[in-house]
């Protein structure tokens, strides 16, 4: 399975998620109200990358709707009505 419809942007998004987590040990001060949200922000960014990855494989013809939905669930992405 290769994907590529979005020029593998999902992997750059995953890098951003990791960079957000690295801010927890940054050499510059981060206000507590922001620091407390870094894990949540990183998780949200990661979910966006995971969702894009599922869509990429579907749009590229690498998986059908059943595998798209299976991948979606395996990644713990948000449910929609009917799930």
Q: What is the pLDDT of residues 26-78, one digit of tens each?
A: 898 999 999 999 999 999 999 999 999 999 999 999 999 999 999 999 999 99
pTM over 0.85: yes
How far apart CA 2 and CA 56 sit, in angstroms, is 9
Q: Could you report the per-residue pLDDT of 4-28, keeping only the tens digit for each?
A: 899 999 999 999 999 999 999 989 8
């Amino acid at each position: 399975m290769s994907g590529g419809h979005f020029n593998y942007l999902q992997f750059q998004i995953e890098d951003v998620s990791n960079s957000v987590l690295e801010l927890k040990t940054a050499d510059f001060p981060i206000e507590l109200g922001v620091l407390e949200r870094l894990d949540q922000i990183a998780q949200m960014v990661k979910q966006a990358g995971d969702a894009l990855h599922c869509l990429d494989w579907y749009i590229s013809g690498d998986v059908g709707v059943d595998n798209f939905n299976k991948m979606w669930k395996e990644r713990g992405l948000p449910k929609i009505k009917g799930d």
